[in-house]
Amino acid sequence: MNQPTERTRKIYRATWIGMVVNIALSLLKLAAGILGRSGAMIADAVHSISDLATDVIVLIFARISSKPEDAGHNYGHGKYETLASILISLTLIAVGGGILADSIRNIRLVLTGEIIGRPGAIALIAAAISIVAKEVLYRYTVRVGRQTDSPSVVANAWHHRSDALSSIGTLTGIGLAYFLGDKWRIADPLAALVVSVFIFKIAFDLLRSGLGELLEHALPAATEQEILNILTHSKEVTEPHHLRTRRIGATVAIEAHIRVDPRMSVLRSHQLTVDIERQLKERFGPNTLISIHVEPIETEKLSSSDSEKDKNI
């Protein structure tokens, strides 16, 4: 049975901490929303409950993605982690849609002359606690996600931040409705509407990134140029071409062709590729998947190069 790696342990730790915080906040906000008569706080509680679902997704897919390659998955299971980040983004879209629909309904009620009930002070306190707790949780989780290069953990961190943003909107709306009287009761659903837009923005950014990875998007141009610089670090290597790059979860895959002097020994060309692989793994991580194909320099170019050397002599 495979023991969890240090990377997997960090992911588990961050996610379990998030689950405990989310359970506590969900119960607190739900109770505060009911007792404080705040629709915005109840919606905020639902958002926190959705965080629990994404925590479970991360835990399940982190275990799957950490499995080594096998007969059916020659490149490992990293794409499962990408799938997890997409599921989280879809959850965020659903949560944002629910908050948006509820806020529009309440705004319409106010505009037709109905007075929304004044929220209680307990809802204000719960919103303030949620903002602090979720922002701290976001900062911790996104740091772990970047350290482990985990797209699903980073996506989950942004889910935490979206909850913090939701609570800021909730606090603003509840505060205006609580302190400024009946005319400002509409501030509660208006704040929720603005927050839903932020949630949609975060969700679509995560979805675009995850789909790009599943659809085999290449690494950024600047990163590919960095790879080309590594390939030609040795003067014995020329004309790198057919460069192909992609991400497989937290792993980077690199394929490239290089040209060397056709008179070079097999041993020396092998040593060159080993050195290139070492440099690439130092830059992109020890699990980087690398395939280097060696080709001879064309005869015409080789003769031209030799002539130039003779002239210099």
Q: Are residues 202 and 261 in the same domain?
A: no
Let me know whether 108 and 155 are in one domain: yes
User: Are 10 and 140 found together in one domain?
Assistant: yes
Same domain, 97 and 225: no
Quote the DSSP letter at residue 73: B
Residues 214-267: tens digit of each pLDDT:
877 888 899 999 999 999 988 899 889 999 998 877 678 999 999 999 999 999
197 and 267 inside one domain: no
Strand partners, 257: 241, 293
d(CA 130, CA 137): 10
pLDDT of the residue at 278:
93
Q: Which residues contact 85 (CB under 8 A, 6 or more apart)?
A: 151, 152, 154, 155, 206, 209, 210
Same domain, 124 and 164: yes
List the CATH number of the domain containing 123: 1.20.1510
Same domain, 142 and 226: no
- Cβ atoms within 10 Å of 111's Cβ, excluding its own: 9
What is the domain extent for residue 268? 221-307
Helices (H) and strands (E) in the chain, counts: 9, 3
Together in a domain, 57 and 28: yes
Global pTM reads 0.62
Q: So what's the pLDDT on residue 310?
A: 47
* Residue 57 pLDDT grade (very low, low, confident, very high; cuts 50, 70, 90): confident
Domain membership of residue 62 (yes or no) is: yes
Q: Residue 313: inside a domain, yes or no?
A: no
pLDDT at 10 exceeding the cut of 50: yes
Identify residue 216 by its one-letter amino acid code.
E
Q: Is the pLDDT reported for residue 49 higher than 80?
A: no
Average pLDDT, the chain: 81
Long-range contacts of residues 222-229, Cβ cutoff 8 Å, at least 24 apart: 226/283, 227/254, 227/256, 227/280
